[in-house]
Amino acid sequence: MPYRWTADAAGLIAGYLLDAAIGDPRRYHPVAGFGTAAAALEHRVYQPRRRAGALFTAVAVGGRVVAALAAGRAVRRVPAARFALTAAATWTVLGGRTLRKESRVMARHLQAGDLAAARGRLNHLCGRDPSTLDEPELARATVESVAENTSDAVVAPLFWGALLGPAGLLGYRAANTLDAMVGHRSARYARFGTASARLDDLLNLAPSRLTGLLTIVVAPVAGGSPRETMRVWRRDRGDHPSPNAGQCESAMAGALGVRLGGRNVYFGRSETRPFLGDGPRPGAVHLKRAARVSGAVGVAAVVLAAGGALVRGGSGAALRRLGKGEAR
């Protein structure tokens, strides 16, 4: 098997362990640097048109992918360097530790009855207006964000890293970052952000469904039943307006035995979403369980990703040998 696929598999595991041990880089985070560069590019090319948004997305994401491909090509014959590149890329694009930490911090604030601190913390997870939210609504927002971001910040990067190596890791994170920047519905980005939003939806189709399935498997870590989680997931996953978020949130609702969904208030607009799950509204006690589910899903995902990278290398080598044999 070509060494680069073994290096990719080992790099994915090492990067995951780095994220689990120390979390995001505290200074000079590459994702933040990409966001700054993307904002500068937006300033230069912005027009309230979809064509301008498509150009912006192509340049911002394509540039990241090309750079990663060039770096991968430069180290293709140096296993240690390929491993280091994949590990570093994996570490910088994952956000599992930070996600679990935020869920536990929110749980502590709610358990202490400190709604002011809890409201001030919510923007670390999502963009809802926390000013009028009570404990159940703050807990619901946290659970929903943990569920969705377990896919966005853990499973999806690993999925694309398994398929495409560093280019998949960095390209996915670039697309997901652009969606967070310009993909939301607002007067400025209603048309300009369409390409970024659609690309992010496309890239998350498979990972979100994998996240739902893995949540079903690991439901017992939160005291849930795989059978009940499967039932809720199959029934409710299509009710969410997002083609992907419902996959994750419905499975989390089933695993925790809670009911998610309802009215979400953002700054300047509100949305009413169908209910997901059959239980009570979530509370502080469910946030630590959600963190456990997220962590278990991440462990399963990195094992699958490493295995996928090895399979990808073995399949590619077999096809090349077959091609050489036919050529003779």
CA atoms within 13 A on the CB side of 24: 18
**H/E segment holding residue 262:** strand 260-266
pLDDT at 137: 94
The span from the CA of 234 to the CA of 238, in Å, is 8
pTM (2 d.p.): 0.92
CB-count burial class (<10 Å; 0-12, 13-18, 19+) for 227: exposed
pLDDT at 1: 47
The pLDDT averaged over each successive group of 10 residues in the chain (328 residues) is: 77 97 80 90 95 97 96 91 96 95 96 95 88 92 96 98 96 96 88 96 98 98 97 95 94 97 78 90 96 98 96 62 52
pLDDT at 267: 61
Strand partners, 265: 270
pLDDT at 312: 81
Strand spans (E) along 78-173: none
Reported residue count of the chain is 328
Report how far apart, in Å, the C-alpha atoms of 116 and of each of 99, 147, 287 are: 20, 24, 18
pLDDT at 316: 54
Backbone angles phi, psi at 61, to 5 degrees: -75, -45
Q: Which residues contact 40 (CB under 8 A, 6 or more apart)?
A: none
The span from the CA of 264 to the CA of 274, in Å, is 11
**H/E segment holding residue 161:** helix 156-164
CB-count burial class (<10 Å; 0-12, 13-18, 19+) for 78: middle
pLDDT at 186: 82
Strand partners, 272: 263
Q: Enter the DSSP assignment of 151.
A: I
> Are β-strands 269-276 and 260-266 bridged in parallel, bridged antiparallel, or unpaired?
antiparallel
Backbone angles phi, psi at 128, to 5 degrees: -80, 155
Strand partners, 263: 272
